[in-house]
Amino acid sequence: MRAKSQMAVWVIVGLLIAIGSCSTASAQLAPTASLSDEITAQYKLTKFGADSTGFAVTEPGTVLMVQKGGVLGFPPADLGVLATKYENGTIHSPNVMAGIFKQNVPTRFLTAGERVYVSKLDINIKAEKISFSIVECDSCNGVTNPSFYKANVTFQFAKGYLETANPADVEATISQVLSIDNDPQQGGDAQGGQAQQGGQQGGQQQAAAAPEQPAQQVNITVGQTVEQVKAQLGDPQKTVNLGTKQILIYKDLKVTFIKGKVTDVE
């Protein structure tokens, strides 16, 4: 009888140990937030609409600052926005495609330092890419004539990377081109109302509050001549001539021409 009692005790102890092990394993394997959830939480989308003055922001979201030149922008009415790709630390502008299909569209390159809203965010883990649809935050940039130029920036990652990537590392890559702007005095605190804009009137009011902004922004677009670029940027630090191809190299910018016309900006 005593032996049976001892056996029963050991069985109970064994069951308790097994249950504890399962609980520990379950805790260790508890699901964490996905990469998509982490990225989406970092970038609040901006909602747009139209009022009596035209295109306007109805609900501002996260404000980003463009860190690299070469992001090709399109006017707000254009439905065929071609993506600018960022891969392996290099921006690839859709200039060839733009030259063929966008001959009559007034495209322009967004410049480093410009602020933009996020209108759409697409995370495709299987295709290893994250795409941002962005729109100029005209009130943040202090312009007197809002243009709401828009662009698409697609971040292409190596095969198999996003499946196990650390969200912080992914966000660091994104910030190389589009960094979150948290300066409320410059419109970065969108949720606090500093970045609210509504048509042309809102842009003019913000411009009055930011007189330190330069009156003329650099506007390098596909198809401009060497003379037009130099008129804005001045003489380059270096010029590379490769037959019909010419490259003007500035401190933070490289402009490529073919037959005297701009085809790429990095």
pTM score of the predicted model: 0.60
Answer whether 181's CB lies under 8 Å from 67's CB: no
Q: For residue 214, what pLDDT band results from cuts at 50, 70 and 90?
A: very low
Closest CA to 45 of 138, 154, 122, 130: 122
pLDDT at 135: 94
Q: At what angle do helices 167-175 and 35-42 cross, to 10 degrees?
A: 40
- What is the rounded CA–CA span in Å between residue 199 and residue 223? 29
- Average per-residue pLDDT for the chain: 77
pLDDT at 187: 46
Q: Is the pLDDT of residue 232 over 70?
A: yes
Q: For residue 216, what pLDDT band results from cuts at 50, 70 and 90?
A: low
Q: Which residue has the higher pLDDT, 201 or 160?
A: 160
pLDDT at 177: 95
> Which residues share a beta bridge with 191?
none
Q: Is the pLDDT of residue 140 over 60?
A: yes
Q: Is the pLDDT of residue 55 over 70?
A: yes
88-104 pLDDT, tens digit each: 999 998 865 555 556 67
The burial of 140, by beta-carbon neighbours within 10 Å (0-12 exposed, 13-18 middle, 19 or more buried), is given as buried
Q: Is the pLDDT of residue 13 over 70?
A: no
The dihedrals phi and psi of 107, each to the nearest 5 degrees, come to -75, 160
Residues comprising the chain, all counted: 266
Write down the residue that tokens 């630090």 correspond to. Answer: 237
- Give the list of residues 6+ apart from residue 72 with CB closer than 8 angstroms, or none: 82, 84, 93, 94, 95, 98, 107, 108, 109, 110, 151, 222
Q: For residue 5, what pLDDT band results from cuts at 50, 70 and 90?
A: low
Q: Is the pLDDT of residue 14 over 60?
A: no
71-85 pLDDT, tens digit each: 999 988 888 889 999
143-200 pLDDT, tens digit each: 888 888 999 999 999 999 999 999 999 999 999 999 998 774 454 444 434 434 444 4
